[in-house]
Amino acid sequence: MLVSATEMLNKAKAGKYAVGQFNINNLEWTKAILQTAQENNSPVILGVSEGAGKYMGGYNVVMGMVKGMIKDQGITVPVAVHLDHGSMDGCLKCIDAGFTSVMFDGSHFDIDENVKLTTEIIEIAHGKGISVEAEVGSIGGEEDGVIGAGEIADPNECKKINDLGVDFLAAGIGNIHGAYPENWAGLSLDALDDIQKLTGATPLVLHGGTGIPDDMVKTAITLGVSKINVNTDLQWSFAAATREYIEAGKDKVGKGFDPRKIIAPGFEAIKVTVKEKMELFGSVGQA
């Protein structure tokens, strides 16, 4: 069931759990995530970066694939298709293609420009029933060419963006994309608490969900985080399973060279990882 992310995240905030955004890269990623969501009766958000959208052939291709898969696979749990770290142009193209949710990442602009552009996206998206995520304080690391210094967001700036009417808000609290370094100081939970106090009932978003200790994730959920983004973990799982298949020489046995057979172990590994995250986030059985 294709929906915007608004209702599922408001429900998650009220219920003290989080919905996972799992980024997709191709058909196998999409199928694995959707099947796992259905098997675990969990709402789910399919994240699409601008780079991944381009790789898959365009945003219309992405929506055609997701709609067809929901229909033919009998997916009945709530599913949102969400642009991740979108530019103004990317947001407009995804809105036109039928995405049910978009993120406008204005964190690299000054706050006044961020407010101006976020306001424009909200007006356009809400007119079509599409949910909007905004960001204050850039997320550290690099994801698909989007580079952030890794900042602790100003709670007052978070309030300013929140008051525009965003549906959910991403705020930098020391989180980064990709692998966390050994000397990482951890999430600034005090900053998260301050942000929640000023943004009220708005669901908060935790980017860079790979590598954050489980206890820290659970604490963040109690402090208003209702959406957690996972990408690198799935890539690692897929790569490890695929590497094992090739290094074991299974591609040289019988029809083992069939690309469907080569990809199968990675597909199953994605499902295992997605289930683990859904259990951690508390979304199992919440559809």
Active site residue 163: no
Segment (H or E) for 131: strand 131-136
Q: Residue 118 burial (CB < 10 Å; 0-12/13-18/19+)?
A: buried
Residue 164's closest CA among 186, 143, 133? 133
Domain ranges across the chain: 6-281
Residue 132's closest CA among 120, 122, 142, 146? 122
> What is the spatial distance between Cα 275 and Cα 204, in angstroms, rounded to a whole number?
22
Higher pLDDT, 277 or 187: 277
Q: What is the pLDDT of residues 65-124, one digit of tens each?
A: 999 999 999 999 999 999 999 999 999 999 999 999 999 998 889 989 999 999 999 999
Say which residue the tokens 């033919």 belong to. Answer: 72
Q: Within a 10 A sphere around the Cβ of 163, how many other Cβ atoms? A: 13
What is residue 55's predicted lDDT score, i.e. its pLDDT? 97
The catalytic residue among 84, 105, 167, 194 is 84
* Sign of torsion over alpha carbons 50, 52, 58, 64: negative
Rounded to an integer, the average pLDDT of 23-37 is: 98
Give the CATH architecture of domain 6-281: Alpha-Beta Barrel (3.20)
Q: Which of 91-100, 129-138, 218-227 has the lowest mean pLDDT?
A: 129-138
- Beta strand pairing status for 204-206 and 131-136? unpaired
> What is the spatial distance between Cα 85 and Cα 233, in angstroms, rounded to a whole number?
18
Partners of 134 in beta bridges: 104, 169
Give the highest mean pLDDT range of 35-49, 102-116, 162-176, 209-223.
35-49
